[in-house]
Structure 1
Amino acid sequence: MSTPPEPAGGATWFETLDEDVVYDGFSTVVRETVSLPGGGEMQREVVRHDDAVAVVPVLDDGRIVLLRQYRQPLRRYVLEIPAGKMDVGGETPEEVAHRELAEEIGQDARELIHLVSFANSAGWTTETTHVYLGRGVHPVARPDGFEPEAEEADMEVVTLDADDAVALAHSGDLIDAKTLVGLLMAAPHLRAT
């Protein structure tokens, strides 16, 4: 893999001079004052958010397990791969993958293959999503004490043939970023099984 080219004018340095927490809730919004390499300052609002893990779960017959979940910002249901935040201290991405599969679809994967980690929106949030392919997906009990709430209580589990799921990604019928990334990165592995 090649190294990305340096920015025009050589190496640059941006230094955070000050930050002010504007909002602290599900996410934290911080207004940062940053020095510019050529002099001067700029302000940027940065959303600090937990990283996330997403899994493309593949059943033994080759079908992909997806979820139809309501998403308030879009005011609609969205077809997605199972995913969740890394919001339990000390959990590795793999542990989060297993937990989320059990919570959301009542399944687990015998094998997890890391496909990619990507910055969700590098211009405004710190969140990174770690995407895995899950093979050997099999039923398991939901974790003790887990009760689906809010949108999760209304999720519908959907299974699709792998080729059909990837075709939906290519056709533009899927709009969720982690699902698009996951299915397109998983596609070569799906053909190999």
Structure 2
Amino acid sequence: MRIQDTPEEWRVTATATPFTGNKTSVRTDEVVMPDGSRTSRDYQVHPGSVAIVALDEEGRVIVVRQYRHPVRQRLWEIPAGLLDIPGENPLHAAQRELYEEAHVKAEDWRVLTDVYTSPGGSDEAVRIFLARGISEAEGERYEGDHEEADMERARVPLDELIAGILAGELHNTCLAAGVLAAHAARSGAGFESLRPADAPWPARPFEA
């Protein structure tokens, strides 16, 4: 048997949205289970995100550090951002986020992995890209606000990030998934075997 996630949808008899925020909302669905019993599920409705493992010629990954209020920690992360526009091409969003958060551009883009960050409580889907051929972007540096106002930036060897993940010192989901996927690709069939940057993404369909 092939180990592969498959689409499935239980019947929803009622739905409500008790909270709507600026970017996300909370939905409550009344669901009929396969045995006929009924239950309710509360979950965050999320537009989706992109994240980027930007790997330079020295094998270092561009990382950023910012405060994350829900977990009360300042986390090291890879550049990432929301899909603000419905149907937005995720590659274009990733290129924008890499420019805004790291002020760099990349020549070679590939899909590393697609993940659901917390499928028990959120429908957030994230596409994580590998970006190589890194160079400084033209123009003025983007000025962030709120959590991004004092964002730190660094370039850290891929192997050092792996050690931090396995030691329990680095906790961001996208960083862990992206860095470990990059390591697996590098150690296995190589980066050239990765999916193209415009590979289909059923979780968040987009226009080319």
Matched, 1:86 2:83: yes
- Mapped to 2, the partners of 1:46 and 1:40 lie a distance apart of 20
Question: Could you tell me the TM-score, scaled by structure 2's length?
Answer: 0.82
Matched, 1:156 2:118: no
From 14, 28, 32, the equivalent of 2:10 is 14
Which has the greater radius of gyration? 1
Q: Which runs of 4+ in 1 moved over 3 A?
A: 3-6, 141-144, 188-193
Q: Does the alignment pair 1:139 with 2:136? A: yes
Instruction: Tell me which residue corresponds to 2:168.
Output: 172
> Are 1:68 and 2:62 an aligned pair?
no
Could you tell me how far 1:89 is from its partner in structure 2? 4.0
2:66 partner amino acid? Q
Give the fraction of aligned pairs with identical amino acids, expressed as a percent: 30
* Secondary structure, aligned partner of 1:154: coil
Q: 1:156 to 1:46 in 2, by over 3 A?
A: same
> Secondary structure at the residue paired with 2:177?
helix
Q: 2:160 and 2:3 mapped to 1: Cα distance?
A: 35
Q: Of the candidates 160, 172, 187, which is equivalent to residue 183 of structure 2?
A: 187
Q: How many residues align?
A: 187
SS at match of 2:149: helix
Deviations along 1:110-134, whole A, 9 cap, x unmatched?
Answer: 1111011011111111110101111
Match of 1:118 among 99, 115, 120: 115
Q: For residue 56 of structure 2, what is the amino acid of its counterpart? A: L
- Checking the alignment, whether the CA contact within 8 Å between 1:70 and 1:154 is kept in structure 2 is no
Unpaired runs of at least 5, structure 2: 192-208
One-letter amino acid of the structure 1 residue matched with residue 45 of structure 2: R
Q: Work out whether residues 103 and 142 of structure 1, in 8 Å CA contact, stay in contact via their aligned partners in 2.
A: no
Tell me the SS of whatever aligns to 2:64: strand
Change (3 A) 1:5 1:182: closer
8 Å Cα contact 2:61-2:155 kept in structure 1: yes
The answer as to 2:30 corresponding to 1:40 is: no
| 2:94 corresponding residue in structure 1 | 97
Task: State whether residues 82 and 104 of structure 1, in contact with CA within 8 Å, keep that contact through their aligned partners in structure 2.
Answer: yes
Mapped contact 1:67–1:155 kept (Cα < 8 A): yes
